[in-house]
Structures are given as structure tokens and as C-alpha cells.
Amino acid sequence: MDWLFDSRSKSVASSAKRIVADLHGELEAKTMRIAELERAVKQLQVLSTGSLENELFRLELRRKELLSELDSVDAAILDRRFRLDAAQTELHRIIGDRTSLVPLTPVQQAQTPAPGSVLTAAINEKAAKLEEQYLEETEMFLTIRDELSSDEVLFVLHRSNDDEAVVVYTPSPNATEVVQCFRYCLFGDDAPESKKSELSSVDLFVSCGAKIVPNHDRDYPHVRELSVPAWLFQGQEEGRAQLVGAAELPLVPDVIIDVWSTIPPTPGAATRFWATTSVDGVGFAVLERVLVKSASTTWGLSQQVVQVDLFGRHPASGVLLLESIFSQAKES
């Protein structure tokens, strides 16, 4: 009987081993099948998406090339318009006609009046009245530039509630900034340097300090070179200028101010600076003054800005331009 029991035990063990071996074989076969299916899925994925990714990459490169070409074309168009305006202005000066013909945009070009028209006469009359009305303020700006003995004075900011001093803006020597500013006293016989004083931290961060504006937020982000206005720097031949940077003032939000510097024609030549913005619909007007008008709000203690006046000059003719920006408080 013992030999019969051993024989059955061996038979059961052998059957169990075969079953286990069969299970392992099936598991390995399924594992191999899964691996084959995964490889097939990956190949299908490469076939279905690889070509699309390559095409997308090619199209993105093409888009960058077209945008770069468009920027170059826009800059070239604007440059030719400035050159055309300078030539026309000089011609009209010679023949006694001071009409300015600078179309900065196609809309402005279509609306530009013909020489000798009634509209041109009205524009010239308006410019003459502005020159007469703000003669003292213009002389103040020129006096500040003379006192500081610097052609780097960009523009000044003065307030209706402060008759003693203005804020003068000049190019910043710091590469991370565009402009710097200081308080300048208008009266007294002291030397110009003694009239200068630093602004408080509150004035710098809340009202007068300039905030850098990225290039894509500028009015004309594709324009980074300009022709130097012929009338701006007396005795200097017309040349080219490059963009230094753009900034805005907390007191005048949404008014983007570009700062430009001349490209020296020869090594060692002096570099000149000026600021531009859009004034009364004229792009790249040379900014001279910013007047901030305030009104008392509560018991005469706090001051609220109700109006900002931008004074600039036409980039071609140099006539005075004025644009007034009203706050919601003024409008209400």
C-alpha cells in the first residue's frame, strides 16, 4: 500500500508542476503580447503626432520670420515718412509756407490738409495762440535747460499747487532705469546745483517716479529708431536716434513716454537725448512739460488730480501741441 500512496503523491506533484508551468507560460505569453501592443501604440503615436509636431514647429518659425520682417517694414515706412516730412517742411520754409505734412498713420495721412487750405490756416492759428498763451511756461522750460547747462533735460513736471519748484527728468546713467528725476527750485540766486534736491520716497514711488514700460506695451513697439528732428538740436546735422527705453509716471497713467538718444556719427561725438509721446493725436511729439492740476477734496487737506496737460512739439515742424487729460472726478 505504501508504494501505491507514493505513486499517487508523485502523480499529483507532477500534475501541479505542469499546471504551474502552463500558467507561467501563459503569463509570459501575455506579457510579451502586452509589450508588443505597447510598442505598436508608441509607433502609432509617433506616426500620428510626429508629423503634426514638425509642421507646427515649422509654422512657428515661419511666423517669427514674418513678424520680424513686418517690424522691419513698419520701421522703414515710419522712417521714410519722417524724412519726407523733414524735406517738405524745409521746402515750405524756403518758399514761406510753414505747413507741416507729416502723416504718422494712414488715417492721419488721409486727414492731412493741403497747403493753403482753410484747415491749414486754422491749425497754424491754433499753434500761434498756444505759443502766445504759454509763452512764460515755455521760457521757464528753456531757462531751466540753460541753468542746468545740459541738453539732457528731457521734460519737466509742475503742479498747480506748487509754484516754487518743478520736477526735472533726465536720462538715467543706470542701465536698469530709463529716467531719473529731482526737485528743482525756480527762484533764488543760488547756483543751479544748489537748487536741486532729492524727492521724498513718497513722491518717487507714488507720484513722480518713473516706472519702466516693456517694449510690447509701447504705442509703436516696432519703432526703435527715428530720424532726429531737424529743429530740435540747433547746429547739428540730421541723423539717426535709437530707443533708450519707455516709462510712465504714476500721476499720468497710460501715457507712455519714449526716451531717445542720438547715434553719434563719429566716435567721441556728443550724444543728445529727448523724450516723445503722443500729444493731440500726433505720434512721437517731443515732450517738454507735464502740468498736473489738483483740487482739494476734504477740508482742503488732500489733493486729487483732476487734469493733466501734456505740452509737446510736432516732430517735424516744432510747433507747440497741447492735450488735456481729465480725470473721472473732473468729468463728473
Does 203 fall in a domain?
yes
Taking residues 48-70, report their average pLDDT.
79
Given pLDDT bands bounded at 50, 70 and 90, which one contains residue 318? confident
Cell, residue 316: 517735424
Q: Are residues 270 and 324 in the same domain?
A: yes
Q: Are residues 154 and 271 in the same domain?
A: yes
The count of domains in the chain is 2
pLDDT per residue as tens digits for the range 253-265: 889 999 999 888 7
Instruction: Compute CA distances 300 → 74, 297, 323, whole Å.
Output: 50, 6, 28
Amino acid at 222: H
- Domain endpoint, select from 97, 125, 149: 97
Does 191 fall in a domain?
yes
- Mean pLDDT over the full length of the chain: 79
Q: Are residues 148 and 291 in the same domain?
A: yes
Hey, CA dihedral for 187, 189, 193, 194, is it positive or negative? negative
Does 110 fall in a domain?
no
Q: Are residues 84 and 135 in the same domain?
A: no
Q: Are residues 74 and 138 in the same domain?
A: no
pTM value?
Answer: 0.63
Per-residue pLDDT, 2? 55
Per-residue pLDDT, 103? 37
**pLDDT for 282 beyond 80:** yes
Per-residue pLDDT, 102? 38
Does 103 fall in a domain?
no
Q: Are residues 49 and 157 in the same domain?
A: no
Cell, residue 136: 512764460
**64-68, 86-90, 122-126, range with greatest mean pLDDT:** 64-68
Q: Which helix (H) or strand (E) holds 165?
A: strand 165-171
Does 271 fall in a domain?
yes
Does 64 fall in a domain?
yes
- Domain endpoint, select from 52, 67, 97: 97
Q: When comparing pLDDT for 174 and 291, which is higher?
A: 291
**pLDDT for 130 beyond 50:** yes
Q: Are residues 137 and 235 in the same domain?
A: yes
How far apart are alpha carbons 9 and 251 in whole angstroms? 100
DSSP states along 175-211: TT-SEEEEEEE-SSSS-HHHHEEPPPHHIIIIISS-E
Cell, residue 67: 513678424
Q: Are residues 92 and 137 in the same domain?
A: no
Give SS3 for 232.
Answer: coil
Q: Which residue range is the domain that position 21 belongs to?
A: 1-97
**pLDDT for 331 beyond 90:** no
How far apart are alpha carbons 178 and 182 in whole angstroms? 14
Residues 6+ apart with CB under 8 A from 267: none
